[in-house]
Amino acid sequence: MKTLYSFTVILSLSFFLFSFNRIENNNFKYKKASNHSTVYRSQNDVNEISNGFFKRYSDLKKYKSDIMSLYKTRTLGTIWFDEDEINEFGSVLYEKAKKTNDLIIPYQKEIDQLFSASSDKSTLSQTDADMLLSSLYIVYTKKSNADKKKLAYNDMLKDFLNYSTLEEQETTAIATNEKVEFDQYYKLQDALKKYKRLEKSSKYRPIVPEESPYKELRPDAVSSTIAQVRTRLYLLGDLKTDSKSNVYDRELMDAVMKYKVRNGFKPNYILAEEHINEMNIPLEDKLTTLKLNMERCREISAKIAASDEYVLVNVPSYELIYVKNGKVVLTSPVFVGAPLTKTTIFNGEIDRIVFSPYWTVPQSIVQNELRSKMAEDPNYLEEKNMEMVNGQVRQKPGPDNSLGLVKFVFPNPDDIYMHDTPSKTLFDFEKRTFSHGCINVKMAKELAVAMLKDYPEWTQAKIDKAMDGKVENSFKLTKKVPIFITYFTSLVNEKGEVGFFQDVYEKDANPGGETLPGTAIVNQ
């Protein structure tokens, strides 16, 4: 997929009318990378091209002077195309023209075909297509500026090809004086613009598998499905070029891995049916997801912007990040509450780290799971390293403790917390909703070490001893660490790559409330 426009660059280039070529010593050196590309090297070529165009589209002859004024510094270098796709400005022009009352568009059928989503695509050369859009621009400008005596179309084009023109098309753009504290909002906003552009691309088509029923594709496979996946990953930005090859080669393997990692899939090279299905989610749905998650950014406490240290857990991506001094210093997979025992979405503060913790078993688990086993086997508790204390069952510290070797406590009404786990194999699953509400952290030990960097007394040796699983050891932090438990089904990572994740609690389908009763229970 082509790189998103940097609007800073757009503003700069708009001063030069988005010229993709230079005039050097009166030698024209425009060259376009396209199937319709033509090289223009002299003014004679330009005259021949323009004369041919106005002969084919004779109704536009009366606009010839105005149209050609737009190309004075481009020698017919394109205005409305980015490589072989119509750019955002061309799409904005088309939409504006269609919404203008009583506007008669010359050669409207040909122009409509340029934007058609059907298989009946225009066969126009890129030069003819670009000049037709320039004629549309002239007609539209004459109509919308009819009250002005003198029109300088070349100067007006500079104003048209700028950030504000696009920005007014963004229905999700923030109000002029409004600022969202969580910068993820603006990253998602950029992704939204990117996906809107994809929506207009004739290359973005559903992937139709060659095999029926579908069979998993692995490296070295040969299939027309591979070629379709390759094009899709090129459009999404996971591939730099599209070779059109139907062989599952090394280049595609790297792209598949990149695609899977950013979207929360298990990192391997297998292209299963679920991956094809995800790639085939309509762009309209992707746009809705991006907008919804932009709104969720508004709900994030402003405290996150003011904090130089915090933990953020995102449930749909099953991921934790730890930020210190404004930088991400640790990222870890997590697993979270099952749909019936959801992890609560809220903000809090981590105030204690507990090494070699006891696990007090919730009464619901004792009643529903342990009581019958205790009745069948009098030694059950001892065999499981458990004991009864004041009428409550608790599991003693140790490597097999359900909380692992460390837990992180942040006071909250549902009494959930983060902790280590001995069940490391569960992190190999893509959908990780296994707990009764608590957050299980794969790299819990590494997180504890990172959080204690500012406490000199907590040397690595002391941490290792505290985690030996013999005696519970609780340490109260002098500086509480904010924690944000969030629900983003779409996020942009540190590399600027957007990911889409499973709506595990069905909150996207019902953004105003829960689809199931919240029943977070204290547990692993």
Q: Could you list the active site residues?
A: 419, 438
Contact criterion met (CB below 8 Å) for 373 and 380? yes
Distance CA(419)–CA(350), nearest Å, equals 12
User: Closest by alpha carbon to 77, among 122, 125, 22, 25?
Assistant: 22
User: Closest by alpha carbon to 495, among 254, 286, 292, 237?
Assistant: 237
Q: Could you please report the per-residue DSSP string of 464-494?
A: HHHTSSSS-EEEEEEEEEEEEEE--SEEE-T
Enumerate the β-bridge partners of residue 336.
433
Among all chains, which residue has been given the structure tokens 């010229």?
A: 19
List the alpha helices (DSSP H) in 333-486: 363-365, 371-376, 380-383, 444-451, 460-466
Q: Is 54 helix (H, G, I), strand (E, B) or coil?
A: helix
Distance CA(406)–CA(505), nearest Å, equals 27
Contact criterion met (CB below 8 Å) for 158 and 138? no
| Sign of the torsion angle spanned by Cα atoms 510, 512, 517, 521 | positive
Among all chains, which residue has been given the structure tokens 């359900």?
A: 402
Contact criterion met (CB below 8 Å) for 345 and 522? no
Distance CA(161)–CA(292), nearest Å, equals 29
| Longest alpha-carbon distance in the chain | 100
Task: Return the number of other C-beta atoms located less than 10 Å from residue 263's C-beta.
Answer: 21
User: Closest by alpha carbon to 326, among 298, 296, 306?
Assistant: 306
User: Closest by alpha carbon to 155, among 14, 54, 56?
Assistant: 14
Cα→Cα distances 110→52, 226, 256, Å:
17, 33, 38
